[in-house]
């Protein structure tokens, strides 16, 4: 029996030294041996003996459960690359849709009045590209951290849910494009777009993989009791949406950045509703793309609304931290300069605004077919002008000075 015990201990020591694992299996034996020696040396003192026994208990409590602090749960290494891949795939899919739908002979015989006309319209909806990239950049950075804490934050969970929604909505548009983009009065009935074969499969694959990845990460980041109860997920999402809706107003009207993102959130939600629920020609605001992509663009104004709400909440938290430290807001200091991932989201919103407004300037001043070829826009000039004014809010700086936050 003693020989068997000695062989077992020797094998355990050998396997632990040969293992490349980060967990040190010899540590329990070393702890026990060291404390036993300490007890032997100080056996003459009862107080020393009790202290040693307490030390043994604390050391083994620390080791219980797989090595204490030695093993730390963190996102798998491939996750950040997965976010990069689906982000690029989503961007490529949207760019493909824009370039293949806003062009001459789509459908056959539908000609553009001049080359500037499709270019201005393409740029208008390609404004979604910096927004898409900024969202995936934030999530990729969170996936590259040492724990799940960042991906489990409210902001990242909200971004993942928004990307699930945009992925599903875009895939549905691709699948039902012939019905959504049909041209009234044509015989036989024609549509601006109808994907098939490999092109359709590729677009559906890009959007479907993006939605699936974000859904899986969102589910993994839920508290364990909620994660194990799928029937509670719809109610949790509904509660979160309701809470966000009643929190649209800025926490401080004296903070211009907070007010800016509050207005952007509300405005992008209104534009999304107009494009999804509004009749033609109202639905062409703000894309100016007629029936071609006006029903596909709301997926990205919805993402802009979610991103703006994240930035609104981040500006409020930043203001509270500054106030609690009696540090003020600081002159000339961007409010998101040190915030995890929010600088990327802020740049995405600003990039959206710059590209979108550039397209409108090009349509008005450089397109010789304006306004004759913009029939739908002419029917709702007030909404078109209001949308342009609204998007200019995205260009407002995120710098908050002491003068603007003190009365």
Is the CB of residue 31 less than 8 Å from the CB of residue 56? yes
∠ CA 97-98-104, rounded to 5°: 105
Is the CB of residue 130 less than 8 Å from the CB of residue 207? no
* 279 DSSP 8-state letter: P
**pLDDT band (50, 70, 90) for residue 29:** very low
Nearest to 261 by CA among 339, 328, 192: 339
Q: Would you list the domain boundaries of the chain? A: 23-60, 78-231+244-405
Nearest to 312 by CA among 268, 357, 362, 365: 268
Q: What is the pLDDT of residues 226-245, one digit of tens each?
A: 999 999 999 999 999 999 99
Nearest to 104 by CA among 385, 315, 373: 373
Q: Are strands 190-191 and 182-183 parallel, antiparallel or unpaired?
A: antiparallel
What is the rounded distance in angstroms from the CA atom of residue 365 to the CA atom of residue 83?
A: 39
Q: What is the pLDDT of residues 77-123, one digit of tens each?
A: 999 999 999 999 999 999 999 999 999 999 988 899 999 999 999 99
Residue 341, by phi and psi: left (phi above 0), alpha (psi -120 to 50) or beta?
left
Q: What is the pLDDT of residues 79-89, one digit of tens each?
A: 999 999 999 99
Average of per-residue pLDDT across 248-257 = 91
Partners of 183 in beta bridges: 190
* 71 DSSP 8-state letter: S
Q: Is the dihedral of CA 336, 337, 338, 341 positive or negative?
A: positive
Q: What is the pLDDT of residues 335-369, one digit of tens each?
A: 665 566 789 999 999 999 999 999 999 999 999 99
Is the CB of residue 251 less than 8 Å from the CB of residue 258? yes
CA dihedral 201, 156, 240, 335 (to 10 degrees): -130
Is the CB of residue 267 less than 8 Å from the CB of residue 304? no
Is the CB of residue 261 less than 8 Å from the CB of residue 308? yes
What is the rounded distance in angstroms from the CA atom of residue 346 to the CA atom of residue 311?
A: 7
**pLDDT band (50, 70, 90) for residue 263:** very high
Q: What is the pLDDT of residues 162-211, one digit of tens each?
A: 999 999 999 999 999 999 999 988 878 899 999 999 999 999 999 999 99
Partners of 191 in beta bridges: 182
∠ CA 141-147-151, rounded to 5°: 50
Q: Which two three-digit tokens encode residue 365? A: 């001043």
Nearest to 107 by CA among 180, 187, 193, 197: 193
Q: What is the pLDDT of residues 128-173, one digit of tens each?
A: 999 999 999 999 999 999 999 999 999 999 999 999 999 999 999 9
| Residue count of the chain | 407
Residue in this structure with the two tokens 């632990």, named with its chain if needed: 16
Partners of 334 in beta bridges: 399
Report how far apart the first and last C-alpha atoms of the chain are (Å, whole number): 84
**pLDDT band (50, 70, 90) for residue 71:** very low
- Where would I find the H helices in 185-229? 197-220, 224-227
Distance of CA 116 to the CA centre of its chain: 33
What is the rounded distance in angstroms from the CA atom of residue 110 to the CA atom of residue 91?
A: 27
């Amino acid at each position: 029996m003693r020989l068997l015990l000695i062989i077992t201990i020797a094998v355990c020591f050998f396997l632990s030294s040969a293992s490349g694992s980060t967990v040190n299996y010899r540590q329990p034996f070393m702890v026990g041996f060291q404390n036993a020696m300490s007890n032997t040396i100080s056996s003459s003192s009862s107080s020393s003996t009790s202290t040693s026994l307490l030390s043994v208990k604390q050391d083994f409590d620390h080791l219980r459960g797989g090595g204490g602090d030695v093993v730390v749960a963190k996102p798998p290494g491939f996750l950040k690359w997965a976010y990069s891949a689906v982000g690029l795939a989503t961007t490529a899919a949207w760019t493909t849709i824009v370039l293949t739908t806003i062009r001459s002979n789509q459908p056959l015989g539908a000609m553009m009045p001049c080359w500037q006309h499709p270019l201005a319209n393409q740029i208008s909806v390609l404004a979604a590209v910096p927004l898409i990239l900024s969202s995936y950049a934030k999530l990729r950075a969170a996936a590259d951290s040492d724990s799940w804490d960042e991906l489990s934050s409210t902001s990242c969970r909200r971004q993942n849910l928004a990307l699930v929604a945009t992925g599903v909505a875009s895939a549905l548009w691709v699948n039902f494009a012939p019905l959504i983009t049909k041209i009234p009065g044509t015989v036989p009935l024609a549509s601006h777009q109808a994907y098939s074969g490999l092109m359709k499969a590729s677009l559906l694959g890009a959007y479907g993989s993006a939605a699936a990845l974000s859904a899986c990460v969102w589910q993994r980041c839920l508290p364990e009791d909620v994660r194990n109860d799928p029937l509670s997920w719809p109610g949790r999402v509904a509660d979160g949406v309701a809470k966000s809706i009643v929190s649209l107003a800025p926490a401080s009207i004296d903070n211009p950045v907070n007010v800016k993102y509050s207005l952007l959130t509300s405005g992008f939600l209104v534009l999304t509703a107009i494009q999804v629920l509004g009749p033609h020609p109202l639905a062409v605001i703000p894309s100016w793309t007629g029936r071609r992509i006006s029903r596909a663009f709301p997926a990205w104004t919805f993402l802009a609304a979610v991103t703006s709400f994240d930035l609104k909440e981040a500006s409020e938290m930043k203001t509270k931290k500054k106030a609690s430290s009696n540090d003020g807001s600081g002159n000339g200091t961007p409010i998101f300069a040190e915030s995890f991932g929010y600088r990327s989201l802020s740049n995405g919103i600003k990039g959206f605004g710059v590209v979108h407004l550039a397209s409108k300037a090009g349509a008005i001043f450089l397109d010789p077919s304006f306004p004759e070829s913009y029939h739908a826009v002419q029917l709702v000039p007030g909404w078109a002008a209001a949308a342009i004014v609204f998007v200019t809010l995205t260009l407002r700086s995120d710098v908050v000075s002491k003068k603007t936050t003190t009365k």
